[in-house]
Amino acid sequence: MTKSLNAIAQKLMSPGQGILAADESEGTIAKRFAKINLPNSLDLRRDYREMLFRSTEAMTKYISGVILTEETLEQSAADGTTFRAILADADCIPGIKVDRGAFPMPGDSGEKITEGLDGLRQRLVRYAELGAGFAKWRAVITINDVAPTRNNIRANAHALARYAILCQEAGIVPIVEPEVVGDGDPGNHSLERSAQVTGEVLENVFKELRLAGVDLSGMLLKPNMVLPGVNSRDRPGVEEVARRTVDVLKQHVPAAVPGIAFLSGGQTDEEATAHLSAMNQIAYKPWPLTFSYGRALQNVALRTWAGRRENFPAAQAAFTHRAHMNSLAALGEWSNEADRAAA
């Protein structure tokens, strides 16, 4: 089992490839559709995902795995071909989001705790039968004048560890996602504070993973980059963000972890790509670094598609461009000039 979990993790971290996060909840995709004046219907969600998954060049060259929702894992394209079959043709590993969302923690701290452990063991058996090779659980850590509290960090870390060991028991690679979100109190969310909180969160997460008996060689980490809050006056350069992020990871992430796939966390498409590329230009890292982006991969493609199947080719070209740029970033070879020239 250890060997097969590690083999899946290694394949997801194939050089120059990353993970497409297509696991937007119905609420999230409704907001994105609303921005382009589209209703949130089952057929439109299906068409949108079909457009992405049938972007053959992007999926075969630049994407190693796709995080799906329960709906999408069992869904088919308009012609009846299952999405699982389309991903298999592209040699992409299907994954599944298994948490039930982040809910307010009791108290007045403004923090959240992720739920979804009840019944998870049984659900994972079903997901494995459907061919899911990996799963994802997101914990949300807030920064404000009283948060994060030790209680919140420990509660979320414990839930991540329980999820991870259940995944491994089912033969599924857990992606562990502790996200320090960027929309906290701007006065308290500097680059320095972000580094300190991210380090504390990672330290607690790996402590809980070890206590739960999680095999670190059969998991992946999906962290935030070390960034100031979106409304902070602190605006560091690309190289500083890259250096601080890698420094924090080196201090708190064991070398046994097969790879780290970042979330984009409120960055623009180009910022997420630039930061990843700068990190991959830093020498002496014990693990490969790649992307597990949702919006930062799909943004332009979604607007180009606009709910019309006749726009598939243009939207797929936009998606392929972004995937290619992030592939270059995962190799440390991206540049602004190359991005503009290829676009």
Residue 331 has pLDDT above 70, yes or no: yes
Considering the candidates 11, 97, 112, 222, report the single residue annotated as catalytic: 222
Assess whether pLDDT exceeds 90 at residue 343.
Answer: no
Name the percent of the chain lying above pLDDT 70.
Answer: 99
Q: Which residues pair with 178 in a beta bridge?
A: 139
Q: Yes or no: say if 111 and 105 are a contact pair by the CB < 8 Å rule.
A: yes
pLDDT tens across 190-240, in order? 999 999 999 999 999 999 999 999 999 999 999 999 999 988 888 899 999
Residue 174 has pLDDT above 70, yes or no: yes
CA 106 to chain centre: 27
> Which tens digits make up the pLDDT trace of 245-258?
999 999 999 999 99
Q: What is the mean pLDDT of the chain?
A: 96
Token digits for 168? 């491994």
Q: Give the pLDDT mean for 48-71.
A: 98
Q: Which of 266, 196, 278 is nearest to 237 (CA)?
A: 278
Strand-pairing partners, residue 134, are 95, 173
**Percent helix, percent strand, percent coil in the chain, to nearest 5:** 50, 15, 35
For residue 183, the model assigns a pLDDT of 84
CA distance linking residue 315 with residue 329, whole number of Å: 21
- The Cα 181–Cα 153 span in angstroms is 13
> Residue 48, by phi and psi: left (phi above 0), alpha (psi -120 to 50) or beta?
alpha
**Over 80: is that where the pLDDT of 288 sits?**
yes
- Tokens 């991903």 belong to residue: 87
Cα–Cα distance, 290 to 276 (Å, whole number): 7
Amino acid at 11: K
Domain 2-342 has CATH 3.40.50.920: no
Per-residue model confidence (pLDDT) at position 1: 67
170-174, 184-188, 278-282, 339-343 — which is least confidently predicted? 184-188
Determine the Cα–Cα distance for residues 138 and 124; give it in Å rounded to an integer.
Answer: 16
Rounded Cα gap, residues 61 and 8, in angstroms: 17
Q: Looking at 177, 179, 200, 208, which residue is catalytic?
A: 177
> How many angstroms from the chain centroid is the CA of residue 312?
24
Got the DSSP string for 279-305?
HHTSS--SS-EEEEESHHHHHHHHHHH
pTM here? Answer: 0.97
Q: What ranges do the domains of the chain cover?
A: 2-342
> Catalytic annotation on 177?
yes
Phi-psi region of 159 (alpha: psi -120 to 50; beta: other; left: phi over 0): alpha
Tokens of 8: 């899946």
